[in-house]
Amino acid sequence: MSLAYTDLTKGVLFIMDGAPYEVLETHFLRMQQRKAVVQTKIRNLITGKILDRNFQASDFFEEAEIERKSAMFIYESKGEYWFHEEGNPRNRFALDTELLGNQGRFLKPNTKVMTMVFDDKVIKVDIPIKMEFKVVEAPPAIRGNTAQGGTKQVTIEGGAKVNVPLFINEGETIRINTQTGEYVERV
User: The domain spanning residue 25 has which CATH number?
Assistant: 2.30.30.30
User: For residue 62, which of 115, 25, 19, 26 has the smallest C-alpha distance?
Assistant: 19
Same domain as 151, residue 106? no
Same domain as 53, residue 6? yes
User: The domain spanning residue 111 has which CATH number?
Assistant: 2.40.50.140
Compute the distance between CA of residue 159 and CA of residue 147 in angstroms, rounded to an integer: 26
Same domain as 71, residue 58? no
What does the buried/exposed string (b/e) look like for 29-67 if buried means 16 or more CB atoms within 10 Å of the residue's CB?
eeeeeeeebbebebbbbbeeeeeeeebeeeeebeebeee
Task: Say if pTM beats, i.e. exceeds, 0.85.
Answer: no
Q: Which of 63, 88, 109 is the last residue of a domain?
A: 63
Same domain as 85, residue 55? no
Domain holding 71, by residue range, is 67-126
Q: Is residue 62 predicted with pLDDT exceeding 60? A: yes
Number of domains the chain is built from: 3
Same domain as 181, residue 148? yes
Same domain as 145, residue 114? no
Same domain as 140, residue 106? no
pLDDT in the model for residue 41: 95
Q: Which of 8-22, 75-89, 91-105, 156-170 has the lowest mean pLDDT?
A: 91-105
pLDDT tens digits, 130-178: 999 999 999 987 766 555 567 899 999 988 999 999 999 999 999 999 9
